[in-house]
Amino acid sequence: MLAWLEGTALATWTRESPSIWAYPLVLTLHTVGLGIVVGASAVIDLRLLGVARRISMPSLAPLFRITLWAFVLNTLTGVLLFIADATHKAGQTVFYIKLGLIALALWNTVLARRVVLGPTQNDAAPSSRHSRLAVVSLLLWFGAITAGRLMAYL
Amino acid sequence: MNVQRMLVSATIAAAGAAVVLMAVPALAHHSSAPFYDATKRVEAQGPVTKFLFKNPHSFLYFEEATAQGKVEWQVELGAAAGLTRTGWTPETLKPGTLIKVNGQPSRAEGSHGMCCARITRADGSPIVAGGRVTEEEQPPK
């Protein structure tokens, strides 16, 4: 199955194309998508922590859709990067740690979305629930990035 | 701290980081230091056994005949996309081609790996006519 994935035309193109518009572009898009997903999440997290309180919570709503689209981009580019090297990556523990942290971070984002879109008092100090969601989110994304980067080294 | 002072501090920090990066010529890509020892060089020669021309890093294998028998070396090279720009193709090093390789040895105990290598034909001439012989100034991986 993994070997078959690795042998598909798409995987072979990603892995073996000498073009700068192949692997380097896929990897670049994966990095840009990561920047947007984690960047937008960090904005939400910081607001939950009480930074920039003049921004009303519900006005952050569009950030969730931007996060979603950037996440779709990273799923697509991530699949390409995975299949190009499937037999190796599927054997890496740190890859599963990365996927697990991303899953938890996304679930946390769903919870944060309910809070952000729910009724809030803008100038109120952040509740402990808000702070918890934000800190957990930041830690999970930090961990996911670290795990992803370590895939090149472990 | 006001915004203007923060911006000034950030700019100074960024400029400082840029100076440090320029002072360390090895940091073009990302460090090979976890895997290869930049303070040492090893040299070996023999026929190419396999050339994996791929992204994000290519691998070249060749066989050295030693007193203890044959040893297969693994040489880590740059991405297919990068090698292409230096004139290399997947056909550049066919199995059997005699080469001489001088590079940084792998840190892994008992392994025969190299990176950041100078690769020539057995007589010292460039692999690709007119091409450079140092595949990568620095760090793969």
What local confidence, expressed as pLDDT, does residue A120 receive? 65
A14 touching B (Cβ < 8 Å)? yes
- What count of CB pairs under 8 Å joins A to B? 39
Q: How many CB atoms lie within 10 A of CB B2?
A: 7
Asked if A77 has any chain B CB less than 8 Å from its own CB, the reply is no
Give the closest residue to B134 by CA, choosing from B123, B124, B120. B120
CA distances from B115 to A51, B23, B87, B89 (A): 47, 22, 19, 19
Average pLDDT along chain B: 83
Q: Which residue of A has its CA nearest to B53?
A: A16
Residues 6+ apart with CB under 8 A from A10: A80, A83
Q: What is the pLDDT of residue B4?
A: 73
ipTM exceeds 0.85: no
φ, ψ at B36 (rounded to 5°): -125, 150
Given A22, A84, A152, which is nearest B81 (Cβ)? Answer: A22
> Mind listing the pLDDT tens digit for each residue in A115-142?
998 876 556 678 889 999 999 999 999 9
pTM: 0.81
Residue closest to A26 by CA, chosen among B95, A34, A98, B101: A34
Domains by residue range for chain B, with CATH: 22-132 (2.40.50.140)
Binary contact (A24, B53; C-beta < 8 A): no
Tell the burial category of A37 from Cβ atoms under 10 Å away from its Cβ (0-12, 13-18, 19+).
buried
Is B103:B20 a contact under the CB 8 Å cutoff?
no
In tens, the pLDDT along B7-56 reads 777 777 777 777 666 655 444 456 788 899 999 999 999 999 999 999 99
Q: What's the confidence (pLDDT) of residue B135? A: 54
pLDDT in tens, A12-28: 999 999 999 999 999 99
Can you tell me which residue has the tokens 């915004």? B3
- Average pLDDT, stretch B94-101? 95
Question: Within an 8 Å CB–CB cutoff, is residue B6 touching chain A?
Answer: no
Residue of A60 and B16 predicted with greater confidence: A60
